[in-house]
Amino acid sequence: MTIGVGLTVTLRLRMGAHDAHYADELVDGARMMALFGDVATELLIRLDGDEGLFRAYEMVEFLAPVRAGDFIEATGVITRVGSTSRTIAFEARKVAQNVRTAELSPSAADALAEPVVVCRAVGTCVVPRDLQRKPRLVLPALSAQAPDHAKLPEPRPLITPPPSIIITPPERPLILTAAIVGAETTRAQTPHLPITAAELADEAARCRDAGASVIHLHVRNADGTPSQSSELFREAIDAIRRKTDVVVQTSTGGAVGMSVDERAGPLACKPEMATLNCGTINFGDDVFVNSRPLIRDLARRIREAGSVAELECYEVGHIDEALSLLKEGLLPEPLHFQFVLGVPGGIGAREDVLRFLISQVPHGSSWGVAAVGRFQRPLTELAMTLGGHARVGLEDNIYIEKGVLAEGSAPLVARAAAFATSIGREIATPDRARTLFGIKATAGR
Ligand code: KMH
Ligand code: ZN
């Protein structure tokens, strides 16, 4: 492990008229170097507890013009730590700019869909030994060897998250899933839980109106106990179809303790989507068993039903399991991951956890977050901000705010949809969700 390597800092600011130095409001390159100087200073404060001194730039490249009105974010990552020297790779990216056309107001400006790299550099700073006040931070080494000087290495530990992840609202539309019933929530906990087919259909339609495009569906016996009966699923799906056009995603998780044949019950309805739970976990005080043969069995049955699998991951290793299934030809691409966070006994509902999970998902896959109890709101909002999809509803959380029961899943969906709109995410319709998930037109309808 190399101490301090990988430490990352990002600063962001607007270039004002006072920064413009040349014709056409061009900002001079020295301004980027000044930004890098501040980035380096914060890095050294974090690493050494001292501002340090910039000794030399080994390389600087100016790659695109910067003008007044541009928003620039500058990132630096420590790539080498000597006894007193610290090598840092820098990158400055433009994330928003004025439009500058005669037809529009001079204040018209756009956030860029993709940041534009305007400058890269590599430099060395020094912090004399007697000024190094801090015990060094211990951070994981970058996986790569010495980084390519022309490229900012992918930082591992996220002090300030890399801008490509957080800043520019993602272009992908957001798929909101409503988990309206589940297997564990009871009427004793909330009177707003739908149970009969008619109640499930009403709730599905309310959720659709609130912004959901997918309904994650369980069914219940008349006495409220969980069931995976294909007849009950058929009845519920038909009732939902009569009321609304949502994608129906049936559970193959069922309830803890059910056999694989029981869990596969809804696949007889050839649903558009079905969950595939990717590993065994402690589930509260129970054990939710998903042995590797069981996962493969259900994956085959989901494929045979013509359904698209949503990969439920409650732990990091569950992602690897899904990737194994892909390798074995049991899952078609693209993969759709659902990170279920905060199950007691499973992975925690925390930002660092989510960022790590996202980093493990292969390019071209989609991912969403479901989080349990009080974590539902903050973690789904984080997911939406980071470009993922979100699942809310009474299966995972029964409260709209502390101590106040949600009157069904629809208010939770409505709040999530309002948040999505506030950050510039477009909300997918069910048909858009079908396209994004690759659901066949013939499936389950
Ligand atoms: N009821 C949980 C044990 C799923 O729907 O696939 C499992 C579950 C996951 O709800
Ligand atoms: Zn479920």
Residue with tokens 């997911």: 383
Would you say residue 170 lies in a domain?
no
Question: Are both 151 and 182 inside the same structural domain?
Answer: no
Question: Are both 250 and 104 inside the same structural domain?
Answer: no
The answer to whether the CB of 236 falls within 8 A of the CB of 201 is yes
Question: Are both 180 and 140 inside the same structural domain?
Answer: no
103 versus 139: the higher-pLDDT residue is: 103
**DSSP string over 302-350:** HHHTTPEEEEEESSHHHHHHHHHHHHTTSSPSSPEEEEEE--BTB----
Q: What average pLDDT is seen over the chain?
A: 89
Question: Are both 93 and 182 inside the same structural domain?
Answer: no
Considering only the C-alpha atoms of the chain, give the largest distance between any 2 of them, rounded to a whole number of Å. 76
CA pair distance 417, 309, nearest whole angstrom: 24
- Judge whether residue 28 has pLDDT over 50: yes
Would you say residue 234 lies in a domain?
yes
Question: Are both 297 and 325 inside the same structural domain?
Answer: yes
pLDDT class of 143 with cuts at 50, 70, 90? very low
3-state SS, residue 164: helix
3-state SS, residue 45: helix
- Judge whether residue 146 has pLDDT over 90: no
Would you say residue 443 lies in a domain?
no
pLDDT value at residue 385 = 85
- Judge whether residue 85 has pLDDT over 80: yes
**Range with the lowest mean pLDDT among 10-19, 102-111, 187-196, 298-307?**
102-111
The answer to whether the CB of 256 falls within 8 A of the CB of 344 is no
Helix, strand, coil % in the chain, rounded to nearest 5? 30, 30, 40
Question: Are both 94 and 148 inside the same structural domain?
Answer: yes
Question: Are both 223 and 156 inside the same structural domain?
Answer: no
CA pair distance 99, 121, nearest whole angstrom: 28
Calculate ∠ Cα 127-130-132, nearest 5°: 50
CA pair distance 297, 301, nearest whole angstrom: 6
pLDDT value at residue 77 = 85
The answer to whether the CB of 200 falls within 8 A of the CB of 180 is yes
Would you say residue 230 lies in a domain?
yes
Question: Are both 256 and 390 inside the same structural domain?
Answer: yes
Question: Which residue minimizes the CA distance to atom 8 of ligand 1?
Answer: 253
Question: Are both 285 and 359 inside the same structural domain?
Answer: yes
Helices 316-327 and 292-304 pack at an angle, to 10 degrees, of 50
Would you say residue 100 lies in a domain?
yes
Q: Which domain holds residue 230?
A: 176-437
Cis amide linkage into residue 334, ω under 30° from 0: yes
169 versus 383: the higher-pLDDT residue is: 383
Question: Are both 140 and 212 inside the same structural domain?
Answer: no
Residues of the chain with pLDDT > 90: what percent?
75
Residue with tokens 């029961």: 405
- Judge whether residue 41 has pLDDT over 60: yes
pLDDT value at residue 135 = 58
The answer to whether the CB of 251 is under 6 A from ligand 1 is: yes
The answer to whether the CB of 142 is under 6 A from ligand 1 is: no
- The four Cα atoms 203, 274, 438, 207 give a dihedral, to 10 degrees, of 10
pLDDT value at residue 164 = 34
- Judge whether residue 271 has pLDDT over 70: yes
Mean pLDDT of 306-330: 97
The answer to whether the CB of 275 is under 6 A from ligand 1 is: yes
116 versus 232: the higher-pLDDT residue is: 232
CA pair distance 382, 387, nearest whole angstrom: 9
The answer to whether the CB of 185 is under 6 A from ligand 1 is: no
Would you say residue 169 lies in a domain?
no
pLDDT value at residue 313 = 98
CA-based nearest residue to 54, from 83, 75, 85, 78: 85
3-state SS, residue 17: helix
61 versus 150: the higher-pLDDT residue is: 61
pLDDT class of 70 with cuts at 50, 70, 90? very high
| Residue ending a domain, choose from 137, 163, 189 | 163
Would you say residue 368 lies in a domain?
yes
Q: Find the 165 Cα to ligand 1 centroid distance in Å.
A: 29
CA-based nearest residue to 393, from 158, 106, 184: 184
The answer to whether the CB of 256 is under 6 A from ligand 1 is: yes
- Could you give the number of structural domains in the chain? 2
CA pair distance 367, 410, nearest whole angstrom: 22
Question: Are both 184 and 153 inside the same structural domain?
Answer: no
For the stretch 172-223, pLDDT in tens is 799 999 999 999 999 999 999 999 999 999 999 999 999 999 999 999 999 9
Would you say residue 249 lies in a domain?
yes
- Judge whether residue 370 has pLDDT over 90: yes
- Judge whether residue 155 has pLDDT over 90: no
326 versus 160: the higher-pLDDT residue is: 326
Give the nearest ligand 1 atom to 395 CA. Answer: 10
| Residue ending a domain, choose from 138, 163, 188 | 163
CA pair distance 414, 432, nearest whole angstrom: 19
pLDDT class of 1 with cuts at 50, 70, 90? very low
- Judge whether residue 148 has pLDDT over 80: no
The answer to whether the CB of 36 is under 6 A from ligand 1 is: no
Tell me the Cα Rg of the chain. Answer: 25
Task: Name the most confidently modeled range: 67-76, 194-203, 414-423.
Answer: 194-203
Question: Are both 285 and 430 inside the same structural domain?
Answer: yes
0.85 surpassed by pTM: no
- Judge whether residue 160 has pLDDT over 60: no
Domain containing residue 390: CATH number: 3.20.20.70
**Range with the lowest mean pLDDT among 109-113, 141-145, 295-299, 370-374?**
141-145
Output the six-digit token pair for 167: 């800043």
The answer to whether the CB of 274 falls within 8 A of the CB of 310 is yes
| Residue ending a domain, choose from 136, 163, 190 | 163
Give the nearest ligand 1 atom to 288 CA. Answer: 3
CA-based nearest residue to 309, from 317, 318, 298: 298
Domain containing residue 23: CATH number: 3.10.129.10
- The four Cα atoms 80, 81, 86, 89 give a dihedral, to 10 degrees, of 20
Task: Name the most confidently modeled range: 55-59, 133-137, 168-172.
Answer: 55-59
